[in-house]
Amino acid sequence: MPRDTGRAILIEGVEKSFGKTSVLKDVSLALREGEFLSLVGPSGCGKTTLLRIIAGLESADAGRVRIGGIDVTGLRAADRDIAMVFQNYALYPHLTVSQNLAVPLVMRRLSALERVPLLRHLIPGHKGRCAAIDAEVRGAAEMLRLGHLLARRPAELSGGQRQRVALGRALVRHPSAFLMDEPLSNLDAELRAGTRREIVELHRRAGVTTIYVTHDQVEAMTMSDRVAVIMEGELLQLGTPREVYENPVDLRVAGFLGSPRINILPAVATPEGIRLGGSLLPMRAPLPAGARLSVGLRPEALHLARDGLAAVVEHQEFLGAEVLIHARLDAVEARVTAKLGIAAAEPLRLGDAIHLRADWRDVLLFGEHGQRILAIPAETSLDA
């Protein structure tokens, strides 16, 4: 298959409301050529609406969409040269696999007259065009391991096979962008992991700019070049999976990405440092004394120590290579999850009193409204 040159996609100030409910608030986003970008967020956050606006299936109240430098805002979906994979695949149930794959080619290459049964045979060049379409359908089918299923109808296929047909229908005509709307959500867990890799490999081979909508943060993190986190209609952060994980700009982003979930603990800023329950974190934040803030600690950032946050082991989950320790922090009336190595967790029993610590570089601070606050270690005093 020839490698296509994917197009850059530019989204500028897109807004959308349904009635009085605002679903997208001034969203701007730029995709590089050939990039794989995930729109991730909880259900109802507006990510599917944004995808449908890019596709041209929904019109934005304000803002513009550009694909490959061309303003497509006023163009209808059929003229935008993009392909979409739907959550429920949207295959034509009356057509066979090969007919389903051929639809985008037939619709674009054959004239309306040529698509009329019987009459089509009278039009010059028809046979050649049909043979070309047939060859391309076979090529796409081979690539997706659908070759032996070409004569079947969608109802006779498994979920994974249907999913591959939907992918094939999208890539058979080499569009300038792929839009995928939760394409894996109807598959079982095992198949999902395999298909995840397959889609990424397909993207690498075809090089088409891809926007992938998902509510599953694992999909977003594992598949994408960059991740756009959307919540309540706002684009909160855009960055590589590592950036948004290690350096979330908002408490909601930190809470959404990462499994098990990040520990969020209440704390107070003091002149000496950040007071978390009974202990003092050796770090400072540019905040007035007494300001409330949230401390975010990833489970893997916590380790056992001789002193630090005092906690009581409440529950353990053995994961094989690691153990999750769920512990109660009495000082702040909260629970924390720590991901520990097997050796460290081995001697722990339910009810044991432990102390947890984290490197200051791993501590994420968030202000009262969830905004990220950059902290500095206590040694380099703010006043100095």
Partner 1 sequence: MRDAAVIRVPTRASRAIGEAAAAWVLCAPAAISLFLLLLGPTAALLLLSFTDWELGAPDLAWIGLGNYEELTTDPVFRIALRNTISYVGVVMPLSIGLGLAVALLIEGGVRLRATFRAIYFLPVVSLLVAMATAWQYLLHPTIGPVNRLLAMVGVAPINWLGSSDWVMTSLCMIGVWENLGFVVVLFMAGLTAIPKELYAAAELDGARSALDRFRLVTWPLLGPTTLFVVTITAIRCLRVFDTVQALTRGGPNNASQVLLYAMYQEGFSYFRIGYSAAITVVFLAIVLLLMLIQTRILDRRVHYA
Query: Which residues sit at the interface with partner 1, rule CB under 8 A?
Result: 52, 55-57, 76-79, 82-84, 86-88, 90-95, 103-104, 107-108, 112, 115, 153-155, 169
Closer Cβ to partner 1, 117 or 125, answer by number: 117
CB of 201 to partner 1, least distance (A): 23
Closer Cβ to partner 1, 83 or 238, answer by number: 83
Sign of CA dihedral 158, 85, 32, 23: negative
CB of 93 to partner 1, least distance (A): 4
Closer Cβ to partner 1, 96 or 316, answer by number: 96
**Around Cβ 355, how many Cβ atoms within 10 Å?**
14
Q: What is the DSSP string of 33-81?
A: TT-EEEEE-STTSSHHHHHHHHHTSS--SEEEEEETTEE-TTS-GGGS-
CB of 238 to partner 1, least distance (A): 25
CB of 199 to partner 1, least distance (A): 18
CB of 41 to partner 1, least distance (A): 21
Closer Cβ to partner 1, 89 or 245, answer by number: 89
d(C-alpha 215, C-alpha 167), whole Å: 19
Q: How far is CA 16 from the centre of its chain?
A: 21
**What burial class does residue 289 get, using C-beta atoms within 10 Å of its C-beta: 0-12 exposed, 13-18 middle, 19+ buried?**
exposed
CB of 154 to partner 1, least distance (A): 8
Closer Cβ to partner 1, 137 or 253, answer by number: 137
User: How many residues are present in the chain?
Assistant: 384
Cβ-proximal residues to 136 (8 Å cutoff; 6+ apart), any chain: 105, 172
Cβ atoms of residues 235 and 249 within 8 Å? no
Closer Cβ to partner 1, 88 or 259, answer by number: 88
Provide the 3-class DSSP secondary structure of residue 259: coil
